[in-house]
Amino acid sequence: MEIHYDPQLVEETVFQELARRERLEDLDLVRRFRSESDAIYDSHGVGQREREFDRLHQTFFRLLGLDFSVRAILTEFAGIEDKIATVLIGKAFTERDEVAELSLDCRNVGVKIRPRRFLDRPVLLRQMRHELMHVSDMLAEEFAYTYEGSLQVSSPMEESIVRDRYGLIWDIHVDGRLARQGKDTVLGRDGRAREFGAVYAKIPAPQREAIFANLWQAESLTHHDILGMAHDVREVLARAGDALDDTAHEKILLSGSPCPLCRFPTYTWTEDLREQLPKDTLKLIQEDYPGWEPEEAACERCLEAYAVHAQQ
């Protein structure tokens, strides 16, 4: 397995690390870099300089120990070392860009990291470990990862909700296992529980905590399990186990729950229908769905259709 670093990432990281050492008056490598850099100016023409500088930056990237973290973390993932031909480390511009990806043929891994991460080794180690755990899942047969180019959803908003939830649940699964292995990761139990609570705020606390505990402790969720939960909140609620009994019949209007009329996952609920809905529309719905009460709510599409129908 080969590890390649993007030259721009290498250059920026080397300069930032040299500047840091200069501030600490740790000058050995700073002086050596300057003299080797001057030598390139003196002995190469403009055309050749760029290649020589790239080589100089690569050399100092190693001398400064900046290649340590990636190599160290890769040794924790035997599955990746065996299956992957190349790991390409690229430059991320924002925190959101800092992700790992697997090529479609599953032979190459790309990881993007911001240059300044390299200056803080414990942080970089945690970040790399978390990202490579995602990659390791993607490569594991049991996880059964498939690339989902397009999801079965009806709007870009639903798509982004499903993708965000998928990411959230997968992150919980990644960090839960790492924590049990006694390894440092990007966010611990409390931090992930807060993220989960923010997204599933409408689930009452006792059930939400039971669901979170179930996900955090899970040893082997699959791609299919996680995607199912991301699409359908009933699959999330099913993980509450015994805690669900108390409020099993309580109506929880979560985005992604099925509309009681058309059964499609619903992302925008119209509430207070008892007050909001014209009487003739209400009557039409109850003719079609005799057991339905306005407190159960309905999706926008159904309400529009019945509103149109009522005017005819």
- Which residues would be at the binding site for Zn ion (CB under 5 A)? 171, 259, 261-262, 299, 302
Closest CB 30 distance from Zn ion, rounded Å: 36
Q: Are the beta carbons of 194 and 216 closer than 8 angstroms?
A: no
- Give the position of tokens 């490598």: 29
Q: Edge to edge, what strands does the sheet with 100-102 contain?
A: 2-5, 86-91, 108-113, 100-102
Burial of 287 from C-beta contacts in 10 A (0-12 / 13-18 / 19+): exposed
Give the chain's radius of gyration (CA, Å).
27
Nearer to Zn ion, 13 or 266 (CB): 266
Q: Residue 44 is encoded by which pair of tokens? A: 């190469």
Nearer to Zn ion, 11 or 171 (CB): 171
Closest CB 31 distance from Zn ion, rounded Å: 40
Nearer to Zn ion, 115 or 265 (CB): 265
Closest CB 270 distance from Zn ion, rounded Å: 10
Nearer to Zn ion, 73 or 240 (CB): 73
Closest CB 264 distance from Zn ion, rounded Å: 6
Closest CB 163 distance from Zn ion, rounded Å: 12
Nearer to Zn ion, 229 or 243 (CB): 229
Give the contacts of 187 (CB within 8 A, at least 6 positions apart): 171, 175, 195
